[in-house]
A and B are shown apart, each in its own frame.
Chain A
Amino acid sequence: MTQLKSGRPKHRMSALKRAEAHFGRLAILPALILILVFLVTPTLLAFGLSVFNARLVSPNPPEFVGLDNFSRLLSVDFRVIDAIKDDAGHLLKDEAGAFTFPTTRAIQTGVDILHRKGELLSWTIDGGTRKAIILAGDPLFWKSLWNTTIFVLIVVPIQAGIALGLALFVNIKRRGANFFRTIIFIPVVTSMIVISILWLFMYQKEGLINSLLSSFIPGYVPVDWLGNPDTALGAIIFMSIWQAVGFHMIIWLSGLQTIAGELYEAAKIDGANAIQRFTNVTWPGLKNTRIFVLITITIAAFGLFAQVNVMTKGGPLDSTTTLVYQAFLAAYGRQQMGYGSTIAVVFFVIVLVVSLVQRFLTRDKD
């Protein structure tokens, strides 16, 4: 403060700057301390476990294993194998007339069990006489990564878009807007357990969704939505969007409030129609909200866990398993804390990279 009175402009400027910086550091302090203690520290502890063979329950101290967990999680191998021949050198055929191949285990004899890989994908080549196989140290990790990616790619744009549409709708100043806002928020506040049991039933073969569809579409064949590997992930996606869209509607709604009404008045006076008002006033005015919604929806979508854990346990046939579900299963189900942490670290890096790309694409271009 004494420097403020010294009168020399250069000093005053730097004093002001210093006061500003001082306030900034002070204002961030409570949040920063809490985050460092309660979030960053356990995260570092957890990530540290990824280079140990730490167990959930064990009498032994964790052993340092270096990058073993990572190499098991990420290792892949490509093989081409020949069909089985009999002693005379003829190719054997099974009942269906296809050539037979040795099992994944048979082509890995001699590999110790900790390094044995599982089949991720395979296809026949050379007229069915040879088979190409992609082996992976942890096939479930790659399946989870695939499912999670599909989930993110579909959920992020659709959920964000529908949420914005609903926000615009309930932002209309009319009777009933408050009511509709509350209605859309209902699935967000309803217990996931209740929602899951309800959708489990609705998705059944004799469930409401099938009976509804068959009354609208003639000749419709009912589908066991969650029991079929081809439709289960889609069913989870649909239900997830429905459940969480109210959450992001609220965020869009708070963003809509930052746009000054005068801008709309001015646009109306200029003769802009509703679409023009949206593209010229609303959309640019939502820039900061947009970045927030994009990044948080993406992170939330990557973290898909609760619905899967309650409704499908990753099945049928791994069609709905996700990265966080696998990390959870490894740490608590199979008691491999170290390996679960390894999945968490890889998950973290993937989401971080995606977020950085998003950040880069949405950066201030000026």
Chain B
Amino acid sequence: MRFAKTIAAASVLAVASMTLGTAVMAAPSQLTLWTHAAGNPAELKIIQQISTDFNASQSKYKVVIKKFPQADYNESVVAAAASKSLPDILDLDGPNMPNWAWGKYIQPITVPAATLKKFLPGTQGVYNGKLYSLGLYDAAAGIFARKSVLEKAGVRVPTVAKPWTGAEFDAALATFKKSGDFKYSIDMGTGWSGEWWPYGFSPFLQSFGGDLINRSNYTTAEGTLNGAAALKWGKWFQGLFTKGYVNPKETGGREAFLNGDAALQFNGNWAATDAYKKFGSDLLFLPTPDFGRGPKIGTSSWQWGVSSTTKNAAGANAWINFATKDKYLVQFSNAIGLIPATAAAAAKSILYKKGSPYEVFPTLSAKFGLKRPPTPAYPIIAKAFEKAGTDIMNGADVQGALDAAVDTIGADLAANKNYKK
């Protein structure tokens, strides 16, 4: 009991000193900044550097960083909104932006047109014609392969100008499977749940001619997510598993390609460095195949926004604009491997400068990149698509699974009057 008392006393003291600590600072307005990068020291360091530089550059505002782990960052933000304790500046996963804009978590931001012009389209979070968020880097996906493996199997190396056709890709998968050299033809990332499914796999659906929602009005997915093109996609996707090309029970480690169990890997550029370390110049980054409407890949990674409850919107906007300097964009890219938001920064970055093996990613993003649909219904669409995708993978009737997803999305749109209010 004495021990417990001591601990209790100590904790009261600790709390007291902390409250004191924050109360003393008063002169510049404090801006609280939230980031999901608690588990990414390299990224965090740059955010800290930007904030330190920003604080030193002027005397009106002082940015204080609070960091969160990525896994349930959205729950932290939702709880903060429920308890009216949102910060001034926060980062957010690109496709979630319209939901939070509609829910009045965030407000439009002001970035000069001259700056914005230089930023990749995937980094600009536009909803209802207004800019709500801006990313300092962008993600792209591609197929990772080994030159030696393709040569041995006699598979053509595809290029941005002449990507694999769907039939070529399927033939390649069949060749790898038949060769007996690999357990699986390709590691698709089935062990990742959540956002990977719509980010990674809905572009294949789009290449077939389907989509997550009808983008002309964002009020229905009927015929788009369950039409003839979507059905073709679903049958193809299911075939990957029934033919044994892909392991439906991968683990989150994505180790199959690296340790030689899978001939290819479909992954994002954030994983490029691990693969490059392992295979060096034997490694190839290839465009995804063209199933009719050209190759498609997802864009938009984490972006910065300003909360709607901030008392210092001007200061929050000033921080975001301060962070758009090319030198920070270069640092981000060098540290975490994603594409710098501007071409100028890309030219100066280690990974994406001319002649580097990663150079292809900005091209892939620019030529084939497609944003996930910017609608407040996106989180629901994402869940519905993930459910349909996993059900199809596990052998469900394709049409039935897609119809169910369309119904889930339709019911949500109807219950929210198409998110018009």
A118 to B102, CA, bound (A): 30
Chain B 395-421: CB-based contact to A (< 8 A → 1; otherwise 0): 110011001100110111011100001
User: Is there a chain B Cβ closer than 8 Å to A317's Cβ?
Assistant: yes
Residues of A within 8 A of B395 (CB): 316-317
A313-B194 Cα distance, complex, nearest whole Å: 10
Name the distance in Å between A67's Cβ and chain B's nearest Cβ. Answer: 16
B residues near A201, Cβ cutoff 8 Å: 251
Q: Does A11 contact B (CB under 8 A)?
A: no
- CB pair A317 B394 closer than 8 Å: yes
Query: How close is B9's CB to chain A, nearest CB, in angstroms?
Result: 20
Complex-state Cα separation, A227 to B241, whole angstroms: 12
Interface centre among A104, A105, A119, A204 (most CB of B within 10 A): A105
B414 to chain A, nearest CB (A): 5
Interface assignment of B105: CB less than 8 Å from any CB of chain A = yes
- Rounded to whole angstroms, the CA-CA distance of A113 and B81 in the bound complex is 31
Given A118-B407, A315-B391, A316-B394, A57–B81 Cβ distance below 8 Å?
A: yes
B380 in complex: contacting residue of A105, A227, A318, A334, CB < 8 Å: A334
Nearest-Cβ distance from residue B242 to partner chain A, whole angstroms: 13
Tell me if A329 counts as interface (CB < 8 A to partner B).
Answer: yes
Q: How far is the CA of A283 from the CA of B130 in the complex (A)?
A: 71
User: B193 in the interface, Cβ–Cβ < 8 Å?
Assistant: yes
Of all chain A residues, the one with the shortest Cβ separation from B248 is A227
Q: Given B99, B251, B396, B412, which contacts A57 in the complex, CB threshold below 8 Å?
A: B99
Contact (Cβ within 8 A) A227 B78: no
Report A-chain residues with C-beta under 8 Å of the C-beta of B412: 334, 336
Chain A residue nearest to B252 (CB atoms) is: A197
CB pair A226 B407 closer than 8 Å = no
Which residue of A59, A118, A229 is within 8 Å of B104 (Cβ)?
A: A59
- What is the bound-complex CA distance between A56 and B105, given in angstroms? 12
Contact mask for chain A residues 328-353; partner B; CB cutoff 8 A; 1 contact, 0 none = 01001111100000000000000000
User: Which single member of B390, B400, B421 contacts A315 (CB below 8 Å)?
Assistant: B390
A317 touches B391 (CB 8 A): yes
Q: B415, A53: Cβ atoms under 8 Å?
A: yes
| B404: min CB distance to chain A, Å | 6
Interface SS majority for chain A: loop
Residues in B with CB closer than 8 Å to A313 are 193, 390
Chain B interface residue count, CB cutoff 8 Å, equals: 34
Taking the nearest CB of chain B, how far is it from the CB of A52, in angstroms?
12
Interface residues of A in 41-78 (CB under 8 A from B): 53, 55-60
CA distance A227 to B403 in the complex (A): 23
A329 CB contacts on chain B under 8 angstroms: 383
B103 within 8 A of A: yes
Question: In the complex the two chains form, is B414's CB within 8 Å of A59's CB?
Answer: no
CB distance from A334 to the nearest CB of B (A): 5
User: Are A227 and B394 neighbours in the complex by a CB distance under 8 Å?
Assistant: yes
Complex interface bits, A101-117 against B, C-beta within 8 A gives 1, otherwise 0: 00111000000111010
A168 at interface, CB cutoff 8 A: no
Closest-by-CB residue of A relative to B102 is A59
From 278 to 335 in chain A, residues with beta carbon under 8 angstroms from any chain B beta carbon are 313, 315-318, 329, 332-335
A226 close to B249 (CB less than 8 A): yes
- A120 touches B (CB below 8 Å): no
User: Which residue of A53, A57, A315, A336 contacts B78 across the interface (Cβ within 8 Å)?
Assistant: A57
Does A200 have its Cβ within 8 Å of any Cβ on chain B?
A: yes
Residues B379 and A118 in contact, CB atoms below 8 Å apart: no
How distant is the Cα of A103 from the Cα of B402 in the complex, in angstroms? 13
Residue A82 lies at the interface, judged by CB distance under 8 Å to chain B: no
**A114 contacts B394, C-beta separation under 8 Å:** no
Q: How far, in angstroms, from A200 to B81 measured CA to CA in the complex? A: 36
Compute how far the CA of A335 lies from the CA of B378 in the bound complex, rounded to whole angstroms.
11
Chain B residues within an 8 Å CB radius of A226? 249
Q: Note all chain B residues with C-beta closer than 8 A to A116.
A: 407, 411
CB-CB under 8 A for A112 and B75, given A201-B251, A315-B394: no
Contact B411 A103 (CB under 8 A): no
CB distance from A345 to the nearest CB of B (A): 19
Alpha-carbon separation in the docked complex, A334 to B416 (Å) = 12
| A116, B414: Cα distance in complex, Å | 12
Residues of A near B404 (CB, < 8 A) are 118
Cβ of B100 within 8 Å of any chain A Cβ, yes or no, is yes
Cβ-defined contact, B411 with A114, below 8 A: yes
Contact with A along B171-199 (1 / 0, CB 8 A): 00000000000000000000001000000
List B residues 71-121 near A (Cβ within 8 Å). Answer: 75, 78, 81, 99-100, 102-105
Contacts of A57 in B (CB 8 A): 78, 81, 99-100, 102-103, 105, 379
**A contact residues around B379 at 8 Å (CB):** 57, 333-335
Tell me which residues across on chain A come within 8 A of B396, comparing CB atoms: 317
Q: A227-240 CB contact bits vs B (8 Å, 1 = yes)?
A: 10100000000000
Q: How far is the CA of A57 from the CA of B105 in the complex (A)?
A: 9
A313 to B415, CA, bound (A): 25
Per the bound structure, the CA–CA distance linking A201 and B191 in Å amounts to 12
Inter-subunit contact B390/A332 (CB<8 Å): no
Q: Are B399 and A103 in contact, CB atoms less than 8 angstroms apart?
A: yes
Cα-based distance from A60 to B251 in the complex (angstroms): 40
| A residues 180-236 touching B (CB-CB < 8 Å) | 197, 200-201, 204-205, 224, 226-227, 229
* Bound CA span A184–B193, Å: 32
Tell me, in angstroms, the Cα distance from A201 to B252 when the chains sit together.
11
Of B78, B390, B414, the contact of A113 (CB 8 Å cutoff):
B414
Q: Which residues from B are CB-within-8-Å of A60?
A: 421
Of A53, A59, A205, the residue contacting B421 (CB under 8 A) is: A59
What are 9 sample pairs from A and B whose C-beta atoms fall under 8 A apart? A57-B99, A57-B379, A60-B421, A104-B400, A229-B394, A317-B395, A334-B380, A334-B412, A335-B379
User: Which B residues are closer than 8 A to A by beta carbons?
Assistant: 75, 78, 81, 99-100, 102-105, 193, 248-249, 251, 379-380, 383, 390-391, 394-396, 399-400, 403-404, 407-408, 410-412, 414-416, 421
The list of the 6 closest CB pairs from A to B, nearest first, reads: A316-B394, A57-B103, A113-B410, A59-B104, A333-B383, A227-B249
Given contacts A55-B103, A60-B421, A316-B394, 10 further A-B contacts (CB under 8 A): A57-B78, A57-B81, A57-B99, A57-B103, A59-B421, A112-B414, A114-B414, A334-B379, A334-B412, A335-B99
